[in-house]
Structure 1
Amino acid sequence: MSFTSIVLSQERTNQVNGLETFFDETRIYKNQNKINLALESLDKAAALAEETEDEKALVDCYHKFALLYMELDKRETTLFYWDRATVLLNELEYPYGHAVHKYIESILLYDSGNNFQAIFMLNESKQLSNDRNLLNNILLLEANIYFTIEKYDSAALNFNSLVVNNDVFEKESLMARSHLGLAKVYLETQDFDESIKSGVSALEIAKANNFYKEEFEANEILGQAFEKREKYDLSLVHNRNLLKLKDSVFTI
């Protein structure tokens, strides 16, 4: 291998490592509900992808922007980035990119109340990539759709399959969200003891990893579940936790 080839190969490795670092930061900040910091890291990734003319990385950036703006309930901005990714994907052979594109379309459909179309789109996404992290997130979204359409057994099956997972990027986040999903299923089906058990598991994981959103939801569910079990003192504890969490976010 020539000296020039070695230099170019090293530059390429540095670019890939730089992108992965920014993507990792984005993912961590997103799961901790620090969306502004996530956007800052993603801006750096997008700048690097543009500088190196890496169209696949740019597609990944647009998709991550779309998902972050969904977290902020900014649907129009999500659609803006989703459309930008569409333009690039029309010219690219990039199965993973196309799979994520359909996954985001599923979220948009679900958000609009088109639950069965969303499930159909998720099935299409599954056919395009075997990326473990994507498949886990598809499984989680499916579970939430099943919960919405009151297919509680199917929802519980999906949530249970993610309670123990080996995801490289989002193991704890997926566990916390799955325990939360189960807590909601059990609350809805009036199995309050199981709801409390799942809620406590979700809360422990959320607190250990600074997942503010999941911590808030876990306290909310536990407050309701303990009230249903007529354990009003414990219900009050979690309702007070909600007020503290609201106050801390307001202060920030």
Structure 2
Amino acid sequence: MIAYLKSENYRFLRKNNIYTISGLCLTLITAAAFILKYYDLTDSTFPYGNAHFFYSNIFGLSSLILFVSVLVNLILTGKDSLVLKQSVAFGLSRQKIFWTKLIVTLGYFILLCLTGIALTIILGTSVFPHESGVLSAYFTALVNTVPIILSGFVLAHTLMMTYSKEIIIFGILLLIYSFPESILHGLSNYSEAIRALSKYVPSTLLTDNLYRFMDLNTEINFSAWIVGGLISLVSLTLGVSKFNKKSID
């Protein structure tokens, strides 16, 4: 297991994609801060030149973060999955392949997220004036976001390992994590069950987290952790089972 883990880690780091993805993400974060600051300095009526709005972009662009998670996943599970046949031929168990690829890609995705969060805090506290309560609300909102984003990564990994159509995988993730609230509210008028369920779908939890942060009324949302944990658990359980039966040609 350790030898294969080192091998996959080496192959991952040899891919230019991770450096390109990381560079683009950190550049976009930096650019967002300085663009907001520029307009704040040049337009006295510009209301968004503050840390509060800058931080809110992290929660408002959850779909973009999920898109990045898929790109990181693809490094070892996209076209690179063509080496699976060779790995199986060398006697590696499918479970070992599944979990090793998850550990490597998830590890670097978490590292990228932590680097991005550190950068937002550095920029938010150095570029913009201090705002009481904003940073603590930011940390709380991040805690609520973590399980949903990680569940999206795990689901993406499972789909990548069991299916090969990236466009379908993107569609599934968008449907689950960015489903329009207006549609959910419309459907809830016809069913109490849908009304109750709509409060716990990932898209609703992410939107509610954003609104609470904008109002500086954040608190730990255990529902997000339960929902994220359930999605991850079900995804991994079904994913391992499905991958064990997958035909690798």
TM-score computed with the length of structure 2 as normaliser:
0.29
TM-score computed with the length of structure 1 as normaliser:
0.29
Per chain length, whose mean CA-contact separation is higher, i.e. which structure has more relative contact order (CA < 8 Å, sep 6+)?
A: 2
